[in-house]
Amino acid sequence: MKHVELMDISKSYDKQTNVLDEINLSINKGEFFVLVGPSGCGKSTLLRMVAGLEEITGGVLKLNDEVANHLPPKNRNLSMVFQNYALYPHLTVEQNILFGLDVKRVNKKEQKRRLMETAEMIGLSELLKRKPKELSGGQRQRVALARSVVSEAPLCLMDEPLSNLDAKLRAHMRVEIRRLQRKLGLTMIYVTHDQVEAMTMGDRIMVLNDGKVQQVGKPITLYNEPANTFVASFIGSPKMNMGKAELFVENRQIKVEDKLTFHLSPSDLIHIPADKKTMIGIRAEHIYPATEQDATNYLEVVGVEQLGNETIIVFEELGGHLWNAKWPGQWAINLGDKVPVNISVQNFCFFDAENGQLIQPAYQEQNQEQEVIAQ
């Protein structure tokens, strides 16, 4: 059943320029839905429109099949977790958590029941008498989360709630939030600019840019079949390597940025569009280390990032962009080395060079995905 529906939703502050342009979206009950995009793309504005904190300029918002455009926030049966936690410094943890229930005049016995259940679930039982200034960043985040959970609202909105935490705590809180969402059966709309959060947490993701929807789908679909070059470069870490491509059918070759040449088999030619100017994209993990015998190309190293379990190798610029490879394990590679690599045309995504739209996803990826599903 649809919990949230947005139909041609637009937002303008000056009645001339839309900061959000005809957003169409349906979110099912119990779904963890992530809005992701760069700063200024309109994702927080969209969340605030769902919450009733921003006026809707055009279109229709439905909550539980009822039009909610002019419904006040207190009547929308939702909770919200803000980026800055929005805790009252003069109140204790307990008072902060129960603040919304006090406003709604929930009886004290019910408040106590919800408080104890929520505090135990989120790990705040020992901190209820402290004030926010006595808490760490992660503990404050838990208080903000507990205040949302204790309301027992079926729809929870989160606006970049982990952006103020360090990397280790962010990873831990991602798991905690996802676990709570599943346990309580909440419908959650989660805003972030961090594509790692989006990929690891969302059932589905919507990518926004300049107020327009770029793609909506499952995380793995966006990774393997990005709708355009923006999604390809935004989803995935490191981002997808891109370059202009030129096809020579007679010689059965394809050239990337006039620097890399690849020989094509007859089956490769079937999958490559011959009638359009194209750009190719290839993921970092599909540029493989090679020996002199099986190398397709040699690339000059301009950077090496040793991460312990894997190594990121940064190669010379192609078409104004540095290319990256991601190899498992630890590699002793020096700056300036020309290393042999193996790159398969079957791992290329092809995009229209003029509008950036996907023409053909990597067909090796398609085949592998189909084999896994079949098994």
CATH number of the domain that residue 189 is part of: 3.40.50.300
Q: Do both 65 and 211 map to the same domain?
A: yes
Instruction: Supply the angle between the helices 167-184 and 137-150 in degrees, to the nearest 10.
Output: 10
- Split into its structural domains, the chain has a count of 2
Please indicate, yes or no, whether residues 202 and 247 belong to a single structural domain of this protein: no
Q: Are residues 195 and 319 in the same domain?
A: no
Based on the fold, state whether residues 129 and 12 are members of the same structural domain. yes
Domain boundary at 199, 229, 259, which?
A: 229
Are residues 285 and 202 located together in one domain of the fold?
no
Cβ within 8 Å of residue 231, ≥6 positions away:
207, 214, 215, 222
Last residue of a domain, one of 203, 229, 255: 229
Residue with tokens 């053909």: 360
Would you say 155 and 149 are in contact if contact means Cβ atoms under 8 Å apart?
A: no
Both 86 and 104 in a single domain? yes
Q: Are residues 344 and 360 in the same domain?
A: yes
Strand partners, 9: 23
Residue after which a domain boundary falls, among 176, 198, 229? 229
125 and 181 in a single domain? The answer is yes
pTM for this predicted structure: 0.88
224 and 278 in a single domain? The answer is no
Taking only the tens of pLDDT, the chain with its 375 residues reads 789 999 999 999 987 788 999 999 999 999 999 999 998 899 999 999 999 999 999 999 999 999 999 999 989 999 998 888 889 999 999 999 999 888 888 888 998 998 998 888 888 889 999 999 999 888 888 898 889 888 888 999 999 888 877 888 788 888 888 988 998 899 999 999 988 899 999 999 999 999 999 999 999 999 999 999 999 999 988 899 999 998 887 788 889 998 899 888 887 777 777 777 889 999 999 999 999 899 999 999 999 999 999 999 999 988 888 999 999 999 999 999 999 999 999 999 999 999 999 998 987 654 444 444 343
Answer positive or negative: Cα dihedral of 351, 357, 362, 367: negative
Q: Whole domain around residue 216: which residue ranges? A: 2-229
The rounded distance, in Å, linking the Cα atoms of 345 and 264 is 8
What's phi and psi for 271, nearest 5 deg?
A: -95, -5
| 241 and 176 assigned to the same domain | no
Same domain? 80 vs 146: yes
Q: Collapse the DSSP code of 321 into the 3-class scheme (helix H, G, I; strand E, B; otherwise coil) and give the result.
A: strand
pLDDT of res. 367: 47
Q: Is 39 helix (H, G, I), strand (E, B) or coil?
A: coil
Q: Are 132 and 86 within 8 A, CB to CB?
A: no
b/e per residue 267-277 (b: at least 16 CB within 10 A): ebeebbeeeee
- Same domain for 177 and 261, yes or no, is no
